Amino acid sequence: MTSDTPAPPAEAVGCARLTYAFGDTKAVDGLDLAVAEGEVFGLLGPNGAGKTSALRCITTLLPVPAGMVRVYGHDVARERMAVRRLLGYVPQQLSADSGLTGRENVALFARVFDVPRRERAERVAQALAAVGLTDAADRLAGTYSGGMVRRLELAQALVSAPRLLILDEPTIGLDPIARTGVWDHINVVRAATGMTVLVTTHYMDEADQYCDRVGLMHRGRIRALGAPAELRRGLAESRGADTLPTLEDVFRDVAGSGLDSGGGFRDVRSTRRTAHRVG
């Protein structure tokens, strides 16, 4: 048969037993993760779970041994530059340069990420427009509100048209309208380019609404994995509840007990590891 069947999506991010320690602190402790191309994957978990550390390993900002992390098939340890070229990254800490204008900040990223010189001005303007900053583009970023800085950082990450967008709490501190706006912009770009999104957030409503799948991370590894609705149904079944729990209930259940042995969770990889109890 000739193949009308589409090929299965490529793997955008693959972590195999990813481990990273700061001194004695194992921030990431045997993380297995597979994010498919085009997917919006939410990495959830309590403060200190290791989410930011994991993202920093994936973005090559923290050094890991070869064989632990691949981005579109490129090993982050062996092919650092190839990986970086595929990425847009919005870090948890605000990072825009307050002494540059919004436009200059985005232009800097366009240069660093090899946007062809001829296209740069237009791509910068498009990215600024996409996050609603056209009118403020020529003001110093130091005069922006916190929410405007966050949107500027999103424009920086999007200007290179990344195949993988990594966002560490992109909507923290944003008002409800701006939060929706950020997701709308992301989804417009996704629709146009098929970009993969790996995001962390503490807003369970956002994760529920916008993520295809979520992984609940606790103490350095994923303890529950699945589509938000699937995880919510799993908890309902294990509790025998009539009403469907929220994703926040699932979060409390996993982070509160720290266990992934509860009935119904679809944690495809770590069933053998449930003996590793937490707490």
If one asks whether residue 263 binds ligand ATP (CB under 6 A), the answer comes out as: no
Q: Which is nearer to Mg ion, 26 or 139 (CB)?
A: 26
Q: Which is nearer to Mg ion, 52 or 101 (CB)?
A: 52
Question: Which of 240, 233, 243 has the alpha carbon at shortest distance from 264?
Answer: 233
Of the listed pieces 41-49, 69-77, 183-191, 247-255, which binds ligand ATP according to CB under 6 A? 41-49
If one asks whether residue 65 binds ligand ATP (CB under 6 A), the answer comes out as: no
Backbone angles phi and psi of 219, in degrees to 5? 50, 50
Three-state secondary structure readout of 38-84: CCEEEEECCCCCCHHHHHHHHCCCCCCCCCCEEECCEECCCCHHHHH
**Which position among 3, 5, 47, 93 is part of the footprint of ligand ATP (CB under 6 A)?**
47
Task: Please state, in angstroms and rounded to a whole number, the distance separating the CA atoms of residues 14 and 239.
Answer: 32
- Cβ at position 223, least distance to ligand ATP in Å: 13
If one asks whether residue 53 binds Mg ion (CB under 5 A), the answer comes out as: no
Q: Which is nearer to Mg ion, 44 or 137 (CB)?
A: 44
**Which position among 52, 60, 105, 171 is part of the footprint of Mg ion (CB under 5 A)?**
52
Q: Which is nearer to ligand ATP, 27 or 34 (CB)?
A: 27
Residues 6 or more apart whose Cβ sits within 8 Å of residue 78: 66
**Of residues 7-36, which lie at the interface with ligand ATP (CB under 6 A)?**
22, 25, 27
- Out of Mg ion, ligand ATP, none, what residue 243 binds, judged by CB under 5 to 8 A for its kind, is none
- Out of Mg ion, ligand ATP, none, what residue 171 binds, judged by CB under 5 to 8 A for its kind, is none
Using DSSP bridges, classify how beta strands 40-44 and 196-200 pair: parallel, antiparallel or unpaired.
Answer: parallel
- Cβ at position 199, least distance to ligand ATP in Å: 12
Interface size with ligand ATP, residues (CB under 6 A): 12
Alpha-carbon separation of residue 279 from 16, 128, 192 (angstroms): 24, 45, 44
Show the beta-strand stretches assigned E in 124-171: 164-168
Question: Which of 101, 1, 34, 48 has the alpha carbon at shortest distance from 219?
Answer: 48
- 47 burial (CB, 10 Å; 0-12 / 13-18 / 19+) is exposed
**Contact positions vs ligand ATP (CB under 6 A):** 22, 25, 27, 45, 47-53, 92
